[in-house]
Amino acid sequence: METSATEILGLNIQELTDLIGQLGEPAYRAQQLFHAIYRQRISSLDELTTFPKSLRAAMTEQGITLSAPKIDKKFISTDGTIRYLIAFPDGQSVETVWMPEGDGGEAGDGTDAGDEEAGGPGEVGAPSVAQPQVGSQNKNVAQQQVGNEKRKTWSRATICVSSQVGCAVNCKFCMTALLGLKRNLTAGEIVGQIAAILNDHNVDLEKERINIVFMGQGEPFNNYDAFIKAVRLLVDGVGFPQSRMTVSTSGIVPRIYDLGQEPVRPKLAISLNASNDEERTKLIPINKKWDIASLVDAARAFPLRNRERLTFEYVLLDNENDSPDNAREVVQIIRALGDKADSAKVNLIAWNSGPEIPFSTPSDSRVHAFQKILMDAGVPAFIRRPRGRDIYAACGQLKRTESVTRSLL
Ligand code: SAH
Ligand code: SF4
């Protein structure tokens, strides 16, 4: 047994089995440990009550730790969205966002992240600003729960998780870009953010419908191994169905092909954000390396599950990428998907402002005009309702903005 510290949050069943073997303990202990870390979501070794105290003490002696990330601060929006500042032991922190009522907001696919099975109320029908669905109060309502649980006012929710501290992609409209890349998160830190938020809301995943979107700080595909390991732990350990998860990428093309080969994976959203290469290269510098044609090729090759949709996100910047011509170019891009065009949809996000960023938010009429061109051409287009803008929790606003809001912790 090595004397160096071993962090167990983030280890998979194989790695835990090896560890338990090194401690000279029987293999069933690895199963118990896996269950406690991920399904029970314990936050320290002290809570590992299925293990005898002597074994816990031996683990501590061997330098084995369970360091769940801590909720450092919490900002609550008037719309119920909560922005969490989650701190790691090395002093770095990221933001994780809780969006109650199941609307993924402009973050993308929250509303329909689970709709593959449900038939997709978010998928059918006319263009509309996403709203909590009528009748949703009757589904999975947690309000009547009694006992020692806090009163719950949501019926479903979406968690937006970060994959890196900061981001290196440097999109010109995004506040996270201003941080630069501080470091990658480990799989344990990705899962730990989600566990901390589930615990903060006493979530019972067997009863309550929670979606995960990898749309917080960072480019998940620039931290692919940790991201995909976290996905597997969320599915096998924590108990999320893969159909309730969506990952968004700025367009790291080789990783789109890799994701398509994964036996267990989230749904895919691609941040298009521009309708031609000149504009896209200006807004998202990596477009020089992976242009729109290469994105379209990757999307065409991406194997979709039964009834799965492929999402394209498009941030609308006033008088920059939001003209009728831009909309018509987007239609051409979707048509270039060939067979896949029928499975594609576009999520329109009116730009969320941030200090130091030289763009502005288009008017509602420009946003609706853009949407109408897509819809009239047969391309499903949804306007994402911004969530938590007042507390800088909305898309592209995650940058540890503390001065603008009062923390509750
Ligand atoms: N890095 C990944 C995932 C996180 S960003 C990506 O870029 O896809 C999630 C979404 O928010 C992306 O579609 C991104 O284009 C969008 N976004 C970034 N900044 C924004 C802003 N200021 N307003 C609205 N959407 C923004
Ligand atoms: Fe990074 Fe996404 Fe922001 Fe671009 S939009 S800088 S990829 S977090």
- Write down the pTM of the prediction: 0.89
* Residues 215-251: tens digit of each pLDDT: 999 999 999 999 999 999 999 999 999 999 999 999 9
Q: Among 395, 397, 398, 399, which is best to mutate for testing ligand 1, by the most ligand atoms less than 8 A from CB?
A: 395
Range name among 108-122, 247-261, 389-403 with the lowest pLDDT average: 108-122
Please say if 160 is a catalytic residue: no
Count of domains forming the chain: 2
Please say if 395 is a catalytic residue: yes
Question: Do residues 60 and 87 share a domain?
Answer: no
Name the band, by pLDDT with cuts 50, 70 and 90, for residue 198. very high
In the listed set 65, 81, 114, which residue is the last one of a domain according to the structure?
65
Mean pLDDT of the chain: 87
Question: Which atom belonging to ligand 2 lies closest to the Cα atom of 218?
Answer: 8
- Does ligand 2 come within 6 angstroms of the Cβ of 169? yes
DSSP secondary structure letter of residue 41: -
User: In 261-349, where does DSSP find H-type helix?
Assistant: 277-283, 292-301, 324-335
- Does ligand 2 come within 6 angstroms of the Cβ of 174? yes
Q: What is the CATH number of the domain that holds 44?
A: 1.10.150.530
Would you state the pLDDT for residue 65?
96
Sequence-distant (≥ 6) Cβ neighbours of residue 165 within 8 angstroms: 92, 93, 94, 179, 181, 182, 183, 184, 185, 217, 218
- Does ligand 2 come within 6 angstroms of the Cβ of 171? yes
pLDDT of 144 strictly over 80: no
Question: Do residues 165 and 106 share a domain?
Answer: yes
* Residues 69-121: tens digit of each pLDDT: 999 999 999 999 999 999 998 999 999 999 997 444 434 443 443 333 322 33
pLDDT of 364 strictly over 90: yes
Would you state the pLDDT for residue 127?
30
Question: Do residues 121 and 270 share a domain?
Answer: yes
Would you state the pLDDT for residue 145?
34
Catalytic residue among 95, 106, 219, 313: 95
Ligand nearest to C-alpha 295: 1
Range of the domain at 145: 70-391
Question: Do residues 57 and 173 share a domain?
Answer: no
Name the band, by pLDDT with cuts 50, 70 and 90, for residue 131. very low
* Residues 49-62: tens digit of each pLDDT: 999 999 999 999 99
The mean per-residue pLDDT over the stretch 355-367 comes to 94
Asked if the structure places residue 404 within a domain, the reply is no
Sequence-distant (≥ 6) Cβ neighbours of residue 356 within 8 angstroms: 175, 178
- Does ligand 1 come within 6 angstroms of the Cβ of 10? no
